[in-house]
């Protein structure tokens, strides 16, 4: 009898535990068991989508802009989404595959409706870790691809949304790569997302930035209109590295038949010979260095700035760079006339376009000329990991001048500083900081959206005064009190600091209280 009673009690306890499990009481480890159904996008429809539903979704990636989707059989679009803090730690291979058109993937995650401010609902599959992504093969989309040769193609062959295989010669202008059609229509070569470009091999990146490089690009024509502009930029959007097939490279691209080069002599040419967009070979020019920029003057004293984009300047020989800095240096230059903010320029794209003669003995006042006069682009922004400030066009003596520059990887630099460095520049332009009762405190703030390993910059004292110059480096914005470094100095030096920070990170360089003027230039990061 006693044995039967004990057996009955044991069964009661067992049934109670089972009932608790069935009613949703979690296991001891706190992990809620959830069933995961498997969906194949080839057969799935909107009826299979439910907000909050846990699934394993199999399909092929469709890339639109910077976003990746899986599309159901009824054209329902589901965005593949994870939070930035998760994605930024992914391997480069995973990032590349996520941005690859036609890439097969099985995503384990949860369906989620994401509502935009305008009320639009975006259907998402939200995953939580890299292992939630299982990749298969890449399936080429069943699209009609039109083969075009830039030697014969014209603007009439261009249509927004058209899938093409375009063969041509790369022309680099202002750090951007183009293929020009036979009628001179420029088509910018552009990646479907930043992740795709970042994943390119160094060799491919170099070739994309090489004038005269033959390339065949498989991609889609797309019209792009920049903010605050009505100008349409024609682009060809590639989706993966394999869409770029390179051929031979020539130092001098074969110019189109209608790309006429007009020969001019600076001793006789006048302002009437200057037309923006005109391709010229200008001989007997003499370099005049003014405010750290190189100019040549026509016979009627029309001043034309010699402008070498940074991508071209980086590969110039040291001898050429030195000659570009030399007052009185005779020069024959092949380039294109261009108006920029009221300044007449001649744009030179490669070293072979600069042919030097003798140095004339003249009395022109010059300075330390930095041949890279554009710093990447003329807005002050750059596509490299260096802010050299050469593109800042204003020259203010106010220490309260403000501005924001954008660099590679989305890095931004915001300043409150003086942009006129007078004769105290390090390599051309820079930013001058100080702190006193009249001007207030100056600073430079840099934000790294994807982390930073190391920073460096040049610094130099300005104007007179025996006391040391003094700056502070803070973690955070201009209001931060979290100091990570402090420097007192005289003369000129270089600052380097290892940070090894992941995720979004901000530092601010401040003029210390009461310090006199100093200049900062060539801010770089890894």
pLDDT one digit per residue (tens) for the chain, 526 residues: 554 444 454 444 344 444 344 333 334 333 334 444 689 999 999 999 999 999 999 999 988 877 899 999 988 999 999 998 898 889 989 998 998 888 999 999 999 999 888 888 999 999 999 999 999 988 765 568 899 999 999 888 999 889 999 999 999 887 789 999 988 889 999 998 888 888 899 889 989 988 889 999 999 999 988 776 677 889 999 988 999 999 876 544 444 444 688 999 999 998 888 888 889 999 999 998 887 788 999 998 899 999 888 777 878 888 888 888 888 889 999 999 988 767 889 998 888 889 988 876 544 333 333 333 333 333 466 656 888 888 787 788 888 888 888 888 788 999 999 988 888 888 888 999 988 665 567 899 999 988 999 999 999 999 887 788 999 999 999 888 999 999 999 899 999 999 999 999 999 999 988 888 999 999 998 8
Q: Which of 412, 323, 410, 327 is nearest to 364 (CA)?
A: 327
- pTM for the structure as a whole: 0.33
Tell me phi and psi for residue 93, to 5 degrees: -65, -45
Residue intervals in the chain for CATH 2.40.50.110: 262-359
Residue intervals in the chain for CATH 2.40.50.140: 146-249
Judge contact between 337 and 298, C-beta under 8 A. Answer: no
Distance between alpha carbon 74 and the CA centroid of its chain, in Å? 37
CATH fold, domain 37-138, is OB fold (Dihydrolipoamide Acetyltransferase, E2P) (2.40.50)
Within 156-281, residue ranges assigned H as helices are 194-198, 202-208
Q: Which one is the CATH code of 262-359: 3.40.50.1370, 2.40.50.110, 2.160.10.10, 3.60.150.10?
A: 2.40.50.110
Q: d(Cα 356, Cα 349) in Å, to the nearest integer? A: 16
Q: 151-155: long-range contacts (C-beta < 8 A, 24 or more apart)?
A: 151/182, 152/182, 153/181, 153/182, 154/181, 154/182, 154/183, 154/185, 155/181, 155/183, 155/185
Q: Which one is the CATH code of 146-249: 3.40.50.720, 2.40.50.140, 3.40.50.12280, 3.30.750.24?
A: 2.40.50.140
Tell me phi and psi for residue 70, to 5 degrees: -115, 130
Structure tokens at 16: 């109670």
Q: d(Cα 90, Cα 195) in Å, to the nearest integer? A: 11
Residue intervals in the chain for CATH 2.60.120.260: 386-525
- 3-class DSSP assignment, residue 265: strand
Q: 157-163: long-range contacts (C-beta < 8 A, 24 or more apart)?
A: 157/181, 158/185, 158/187, 158/221, 158/234, 159/221, 160/221, 160/222, 160/223, 161/220, 161/221, 161/222, 162/220, 162/221, 163/219, 163/220
Residue intervals in the chain for CATH 2.40.50.550: 37-138
CATH code for residues 386-525: 2.60.120.260
Count of CB atoms situated within 10 Å of the CB of 341: 9
Q: Which of 519, 317, 345, 306 is nearest to 433 (CA)?
A: 519
């Amino acid at each position: 009898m006693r044995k039967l009673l004990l057996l009955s009690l044991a069964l009661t306890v067992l049934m109670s535990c089972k009932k608790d499990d069935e009613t949703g009481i979690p296991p001891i480890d706190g992990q809620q068991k959830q069933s995961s159904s498997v969906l194949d996008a080839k057969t799935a429809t909107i009826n299979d989508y439910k907000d909050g539903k846990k699934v394993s979704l199999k399909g092929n990636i469709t890339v639109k802009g910077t976003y990746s989707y899986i599309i159901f059989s009824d054209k329902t679009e589901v965005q593949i989404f994870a939070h930035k803090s998760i994605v930024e730690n992914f391997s480069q291979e995973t990032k590349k595959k996520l941005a690859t058109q036609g890439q097969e993937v099985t995503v384990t995650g949860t369906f989620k409706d994401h509502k935009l401010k305008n009320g639009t609902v975006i259907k998402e599959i939200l995953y939580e870790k890299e292992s939630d992504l299982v990749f298969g093969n890449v399936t080429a989309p069943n699209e009609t691809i039109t083969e075009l040769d830039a030697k014969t193609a014209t603007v009439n062959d261009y249509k927004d949304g058209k899938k093409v295989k375009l063969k041509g010669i790369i022309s680099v202008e202002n750090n951007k790569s183009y293929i020009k059609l036979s009628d001179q229509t420029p088509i910018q070569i552009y990646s479907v997302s930043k992740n795709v470009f970042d994943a390119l091999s160094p060799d491919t990146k170099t070739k994309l930035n090489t004038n005269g490089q033959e390339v065949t690009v498989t991609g889609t024509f797309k019209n792009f209109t920049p903010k605050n502009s009505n100008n349409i930029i024609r682009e060809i959007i590639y989706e993966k590295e394999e869409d770029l097939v390179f051929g031979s490279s020539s130092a001098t691209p074969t110019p189109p038949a209608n790309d006429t080069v007009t020969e001019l002599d600076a001793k006789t040419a006048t302002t009437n010979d200057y037309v923006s967009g005109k391709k010229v070979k200008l001989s007997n020019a003499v370099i005049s260095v003014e405010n750290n920029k190189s100019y040549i003057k026509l016979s009627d004293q029309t001043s034309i700035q010699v402008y070498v984009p940074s991508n071209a300047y980086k590969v110039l020989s040291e001898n050429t760079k030195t000659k570009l800095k030399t007052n009185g240096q005779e020069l024959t230059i092949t380039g294109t006339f261009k108006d920029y903010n009221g300044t007449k320029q001649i744009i030179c794209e490669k070293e072979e376009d600069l042919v030097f003669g003798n140095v004339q003995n003249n009395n022109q006042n010059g300075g330390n000329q930095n041949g890279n006069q554009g710093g990447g682009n003329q807005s002050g922004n750059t596509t490299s990991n260096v802010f050299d400030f050469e593109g800042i066009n204003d020259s203010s003596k106010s220490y309260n001048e403000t501005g924001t520059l954008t660099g590679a990887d989305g890095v931004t630099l915001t300043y409150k500083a003086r942009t006129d460095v007078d004769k105290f520049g390090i390599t051309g332009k820079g930013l001058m900081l100080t702190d006193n009762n009249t001007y207030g405190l100056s600073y430079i703030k840099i934000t790294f959206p994807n982390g930073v390993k190391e920073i460096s910059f040049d610094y130099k004292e300005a104007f007179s005064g025996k006391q040391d110059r003094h700056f502070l480096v803070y973690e955070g914005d201009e209001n931060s009190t979290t100091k990570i470094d402090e420097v007192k100095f005289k003369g000129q030096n270089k600052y380097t600091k290892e940070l090894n920070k992941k995720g979004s990170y901000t530092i601010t360089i401040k003029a210390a209280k009461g310090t006199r003027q100093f200049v900062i230039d060539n801010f770089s990061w890894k």
